[in-house]
Amino acid sequence: MGSYKRYEEYNQPITDELKQNYSEILKGIGEDVGREGIAKTPERAAKAIQFLTSGYDMNPAEILTSAMFDEEYHDMIVVKNIELYSLCEHHILPFFGKAHVAYIPDGRIVGLSKIPRVVDVFARRLQVQERLTHNILECINDTLQPKGVAVVIEAAHMCMMMRGVEKQNSMTTTSGFRGQFEKIETRSEFMRLIGTDLA
């Protein structure tokens, strides 16, 4: 009978160092790092944090340029409800929600799957939601050079839900607009398409 084995690639020296650091953290909070349920936790946590911050090793502009095409389409393109998961840089706790991204091409379009990939690259870094919104917006604007770009992010922050003010139902919305989306009529159309009253 075969055994299950999952193959993942991690930088071993970094993994070993992080594993040791997590062991010290667990000891510091009073855990027994030798007990069965915790024994492999430092290594798991070391691998998890590398995955959750893997965006530092990725170039989002290259993701866009790898699938750019000349196309005479000049109307709004919207990719909405993009799931995102990130880590708040203040407490290293998750925040999660959805991103809505739109652009108006100026002779070039990009493969639709590349927009969520750009969101992931920036989300897989230690972040604040405001900067995450700006990162996505400016990357698309600078790389595609469209007639306009819009980004709205709606997210819940565990640092507000699990600790601090402990408000479980609070949501944070951030937005950014460039080019034609700075016009109220274009921005309003985008907000209507994503089903948000923020206009």
pLDDT at 161: 86
The tens digit of pLDDT for each residue in 22-80 reads 999 999 999 999 999 999 999 999 999 999 999 999 999 999 999 999 999 999 999 99
Q: What angle do CA 152, 128, 112 make, to 5 degrees?
A: 40
What is the domain range of residue 23?
Answer: 12-52
Q: Using CA atoms in the order 11, 17, 19, 21, what is the torsion angle rounded to 10 degrees?
A: -150
Structural domain total, the chain: 2
Q: Is residue 88, in this structure, part of any structural domain at all?
A: yes
Q: What is the C-alpha separation between 173 and 97, in angstroms, rounded?
A: 10
For position 1, what pLDDT does the model report? 46
199 pLDDT above the threshold of 50 = no
Residues 109 and 38 in one domain: no
Catalytic residues: 88-91, 129, 157, 159
pLDDT of residue 10: 84
